[in-house]
Amino acid sequence: MTISGFPDLNGADWQPTRDSMKQYARVVGIVRRALAPPEKHWFHTALRVAAVGATTGPIPGIDSSVELVLDFVNHALQVVTSTGQTRSIPLRGQPVAVFHRQTLDALAGLGIEAAVDPDQFSDDSPLTYVPQQARRLWTAFSLVNLTLARFKGSLREETGPLVLWPHNFDLAFLWFSGRKVPNQDLANPEYADEQMNFGFEPGDAGIPEPYFYVTAYPMPDGLAGSPLPAGATWQTEGWTGALLRYVELLKYDDPAGHLLAFLIAAHRAGSKQMTG
């Protein structure tokens, strides 16, 4: 069942495929980290959303660039260079150790060496990758990406890029109030910039089901408890922030509109204290 295109992600049958997608994304993310120029807030370690999956975007080299695309529609890792060379690795549930070796071998065949510690990906256990489930989850990511991008574009203050963090496999962006956090080293923007984080997590150890989150740093006094739309709550166990479970969206004829209302309400509550 889908509502306005948003797929039903109830149940746990698709979660092993989600976990495999995360493992493959970690490999691609570590390659980007090894090859891409550093950026503040560690943005160079994150992936971006492409039409068919998660991409590194073009990574510059000496005289050409390379892009790695985890294609969750056609179920392959596509490696493409600006000179027209290509490599393709099917996603078949191979162990992360095997996928890691395949990825580095594909890059080496294109004359690209990525300095990656192989011990990070030593697990030889077979993974579960069901193509239909991967495509269903990526459909959700794609629609969420559109709504997050729409919301991001409405904000006047500085924002970071909309990125997919490989380690947690969450899609998110940062909003900056423009103020600095007292008693923090200004040379370390990760801790010096007052900020809010808006994201989508497809499930983790703390909350196994997909959910949306909004957090603030530093957390303003009294923010938790500000009014939120129906179905949304303030999370205080494990982490503090606004929480909206994905399943709540499917109760509405306009799930994107309800998600947007959640993001706007959380941002209004936080920014009122951060910029007021």
**pLDDT level of residue 188 (50, 70, 90 thresholds):** confident
pLDDT of residue 189: 83
Contact 167, 27 (CB under 8 A): no
Percent of residues, the chain, with pLDDT higher than 90 = 87
Q: What is the pLDDT of residues 211-258, one digit of tens each?
A: 999 999 999 988 998 999 999 999 998 899 999 999 999 999 999 999
Contact 19, 50 (CB under 8 A): no
Q: What is the pLDDT of residues 71-112, one digit of tens each?
A: 999 999 999 999 999 999 999 999 999 999 999 999 999 999
Exposed/middle/buried for residue 153 (C-beta within 10 Å: 0-12, 13-18, 19+): exposed
CA atoms of 205 and 164, how far apart (whole Å) = 18
The DSSP output letter for 159 is B
Q: Give the position of tokens 């069901």.
A: 130
Nearest to 273 by CA among 183, 195, 157: 195
Tell whether pTM > 0.75.
yes
Q: What is the mean pLDDT of the chain?
A: 95
Element at 144 (helix H, strand E):
helix 131-153
